[in-house]
A and B are shown apart, each in its own frame.
Chain A
């Protein structure tokens, strides 16, 4: 599997990794064996912006029911 397929798999399945990818992309990429050259970081820019915009946590905090009485 290519390193970028590994990157995709980790990003879609691992919330912690996704957060690290947004907050510290160099460290996140190195952790899966991708050397974070300026070219690599630049090519990932659009994707990281889109992920950051959606927030890294997918499930919203649970809300308490207040209207069922």
Chain B
């Protein structure tokens, strides 16, 4: 089986288990899932080019170790990751104040159980895997908590908090390393993911800047806008004049760092993926900058009218 087939299998299993025994919990959880994901094709959410490659990274890591991935092993890792993701999305909805029916919240228990169960089955309690599991999970938990109380975000807080919330995505990579007795590889894969995590978080912040600004949801980008805009200049005006260019420059250095780290990991698929993300973002940000320039022409209309 190829990557897409295994991902489809794991994602379908995760959805099937939600609905296997009809109940109020199952009904409400499926309704909630349906508002966030396409539950007819549940793997798509995780295999979009623009998603974090949560399922693909352990696959590429295994391929770098033994040339091919063990479909059964990877399916278990994917199943664990998908359940953890659903758990996290419910938690995010609650923490962000989004509307979520209280009857859905108990589903966090089975999602968490199904996230951990594959690891308990594979690794004994004395396995070194659990040290990494706890370390990585705690980074995600601590940073998720710390970010909620921030009203402004500095560059240091972005690097140490906002961009580290996804650290738990390294857990299945740790599982691959321990399974093949190649823990020596974990640090370099984790460092690559940390560099990419910065880029990915910043991309989300650039993409969602307007919604974040309107919702008064702090990001490093918006904190910089508040600090750097000229007297009398609005946040949108600063974004158009300088913000997008600044973000593009910051992200260039992070993507270069990510590509440099990825190129040393022995996975051509990983490098291809990063290049594709880079190219797509460059097109996107250049178009955004061009749009800002086009919008700037609207301001010139005022002076034209004054001359009439």
Contacts of B305 in A (CB 8 A): 39-40, 43
In the complex the two chains form, is A51's CB within 8 Å of B291's CB? yes
Asked if A5 meets B288 with Cβ closer than 8 Å, knowing A47-B301, A60-B280, A65-B47, the reply is no
Given A8-B296, A14-B210, A68-B269, 18 more A-B residue pairs with CB atoms under 8 Å apart are A1-B234, A4-B299, A5-B299, A8-B237, A8-B295, A8-B299, A12-B240, A13-B210, A13-B213, A39-B305, A40-B301, A40-B305, A47-B295, A54-B290, A60-B284, A64-B49, A68-B273, A69-B3
Residue of A nearest to B6 (CB): A69
Interface size class of A (residues with CB under 8 A): 20 to 34
- B299 to chain A: closest CB distance in Å? 5
Mask of A30-69 contacts with B, CB within 8 angstroms, 1/0: 0000000001100110110011011100111011111111
- A40 to chain B: closest CB distance in Å? 7
- A18 to chain B: closest CB distance in Å? 8
A11 interface residue per 8 A CB criterion: yes
**CB within 8 A of B291: which of A7, A12, A14?**
A12
**CB within 8 A of B287: which of A58, A66, A69?**
A58
Contacts of A64 in B (CB 8 A): 44, 47-49
Mask of B1-39 contacts with A, CB within 8 angstroms, 1/0: 011100000000000000000000000000000000000
Assembled-state Cα–Cα distance A53/B290 (Å): 10
- A60 to chain B: closest CB distance in Å? 7
Mask of B252-279 contacts with A, CB within 8 angstroms, 1/0: 0000000000000000010011000000
**CB within 8 A of B207: which of A4, A39, A59?**
A59
Interface residues of B (CB under 8 A from A): 2-4, 44, 47-51, 53, 56, 59-60, 207, 210, 213-214, 234, 236-237, 239-240, 269, 272-273, 280, 283-284, 287-288, 290-302, 304-305, 308
In the complex the two chains form, is A59's CB within 8 Å of B49's CB? no
- B157 to chain A: closest CB distance in Å? 24
In the complex the two chains form, is A8's CB within 8 Å of B273's CB? no
Residue of B nearest to A1 (CB): B234
Interface residues of A (CB under 8 A from B): 1-2, 4-5, 7-9, 11-15, 39-40, 43-44, 46-47, 50-51, 53-55, 58-60, 62-69
In the complex the two chains form, is B236's CB within 8 Å of A65's CB? no
Residue of A nearest to B2 (CB): A69
In the complex the two chains form, is B237's CB within 8 Å of A5's CB? yes
In the complex the two chains form, is A43's CB within 8 Å of B301's CB? yes
Contacts of A58 in B (CB 8 A): 284, 287-288, 291
- B206 to chain A: closest CB distance in Å? 10
A selection of 12 A-B contacts at a CB cut-off of 8 Å is: A1-B234, A4-B302, A8-B236, A9-B234, A12-B295, A13-B213, A13-B214, A63-B280, A64-B44, A64-B48, A65-B47, A67-B272
Asked if A47 meets B291 with Cβ closer than 8 Å, knowing A64-B47, A69-B3, the reply is no
Assembled-state Cα–Cα distance A1/B291 (Å): 22
- A28 to chain B: closest CB distance in Å? 11
